[in-house]
Chains A and B, each alone.
Chain A
Amino acid sequence: DSGVTQTPKHLITATGQRVTLRCSPRSGDLSVYWYQQSLDQGLQFLIQYYNGEERAKGNILERFSAQQFPDLHSELNLSSLELGDSALYFCASSPRGGPYSGNTIYFGEGSWLTVV
C-alpha cells in the first residue's frame, strides 16, 4: 500500500459527459501529480500541484482541469469526454525535497475510465 488513495477505481461513462477523479496523497506529501496511461500513448504526465498551486503542466487537454484543495487532496476533472479519453489515470505524491533529498514518488492504484 503506497498510501496514495484514488477513487473511483473504475468508471464507465458516455461520450460528452464529465467526470471527476479524486486523489488523496500520502500523509504530509505536498506534491500531487496526475498521469494518464492509454494503450496508444503509454504513460504521460498531465499536471502537478504543490501545496494548492499548479507547479507544472504536461500534455493535459484543455477539456481537463485539476485542483488541489487545502487538505491537499486533488481532483482531476475531465469534461466533454471522448472515446480516446478511455485510459488509466494515476495520481502520485512525493515528499518535499525531491531526488536531491532521496525522495521518490508514490503512485496510487489508478482510476480506470471507460468512455462508451
Chain B
Amino acid sequence: KNEVEQSPQNLTAQEGEFITINCSYSVGISALHWLQQHPGGGIVSLFMLSSGKKKHGRLIATINIQEKHSSLHITASHPRDSAVYICAVNSGGTSYGKLTFGQGTILTVHP
C-alpha cells in the first residue's frame, strides 16, 4: 500500500460542476501539498497545509490531521482546470522538500 493514496484516479466533469479530490496518507506529516501539473509538464504548488483549511479563488483545500486525510475542492469548474492534481506529504524535519507523492488525479472538465 502506498503511503499516499489519491482518489479518484480519473475524474471527468462538466463545466460548472463542484469537484472533490481526496488524499489519504499513512505517515505522520509536517505539511501536505496540493500540486497541479498541466499537460506541458510544469508543476505548480496550489496549497501547502499543516492544519485546517485554505482557500484561493475557486479552490479550497482542507486537512484533517487526526484522520490523515485531505481534500481539494474546485467550485464552478472550468475547462482550464483540466490538469493532473497531485497530493504530496512531507514527513517532517527540516527537509520539507523531501516529499512523498500520490499517484495523481487526472481531471478533465468539458465545456
Contacts and interface: CB of A to CB of B under 8 A. Distances in A.
A109 B99 contact: no
Nearest to A34: B97
A94 B97 contact: yes
B96 interface: yes
Nearest to A44: B101
Given A2-B44, A99-B90, A48 B33 contact: no
A94 B42 contact: no
Contacts, number: 73
Contacts of B43: 90, 92, 107, 110
A46 to B, nearest CB: 10
Contact of B95 (A44, A48, A100, A108): A48
A42 interface: yes
Contacts of B101: 42-44
Interface residues of B, number: 26
A90 to B, nearest CB: 6
A98 interface: yes
Contacts of A78: none
A42 B97 contact: no
B55 interface: no
B98 A107 contact: no
A45 interface: yes
Interface size classification for chain A: 20 to 34
A96 to B, nearest CB: 10
Most buried by A among B41, B44, B50, B100: B41
A104 interface: yes
A112 interface: yes
Interface of B: 30-31, 33, 35, 40-45, 48, 50, 86, 88, 90, 93-101, 103-104
Interface of A: 2, 31, 33, 35, 42-45, 48, 50, 55-56, 58, 88, 90, 92, 94, 98-100, 102-110, 112
30 contacts: A2-B42, A2-B44, A31-B97, A42-B103, A43-B88, A43-B99, A45-B97, A45-B98, A45-B99, A48-B95, A48-B98, A55-B94, A56-B93, A56-B97, A58-B98, A88-B41, A90-B43, A92-B97, A94-B96, A94-B97, A99-B30, A99-B90, A100-B50, A104-B33, A105-B33, A105-B48, A105-B97, A106-B45, A109-B42, A110-B43
